[in-house]
Amino acid sequence: MPFTKNDPNINRSGRPPKELAIADLLRSKSLDIDQDTGKTKRDLMIERVWDLATKQPPERWAVEFIADRTEGKPTQLTADVSDSWQQFLEGVFEPDDLTESG
């Protein structure tokens, strides 16, 4: 349905605010203080991941978790699926060279 000016169905008060997202709820929960240790739950979680990454043998996912957050994730290679490769070849080869088999 196309937009028309002064349409009575327009939501003039804007988009309603969304509920808290899962990430917001987890972030809030991670700041809770553990009664036994006095540390935040986030600190306890990071200590547990560190313990799993440094034990023998280490947990691979824990090592990757720490590396991803300290070193950053490696750049993902992508393939060019556009037609720009044809333009590249036209600049390198003569048009007759592209049609000859040889």
**87 touches 98 (CB < 8 A):** no
**Within a domain: 90:** no
How many structural domains does the chain have? 1
**Within a domain: 45:** yes
**Within a domain: 46:** yes
Verdict on whether the full-model pTM lies above 0.75: no
**Residue-by-residue pLDDT tens, the chain, 102 positions:** 677 777 777 777 777 777 767 888 899 999 999 999 999 999 999 999 999 999 999 999 999 999 999 998 878 777 766 666 666 677 666 656 555 555
**Within a domain: 4:** no
CA–CA separation, 91 and 87 (whole Å): 6
**Within a domain: 33:** yes
CA–CA separation, 18 and 15 (whole Å): 9
Tell me which residue range forms the domain holding 33. Answer: 22-70
**Within a domain: 42:** yes
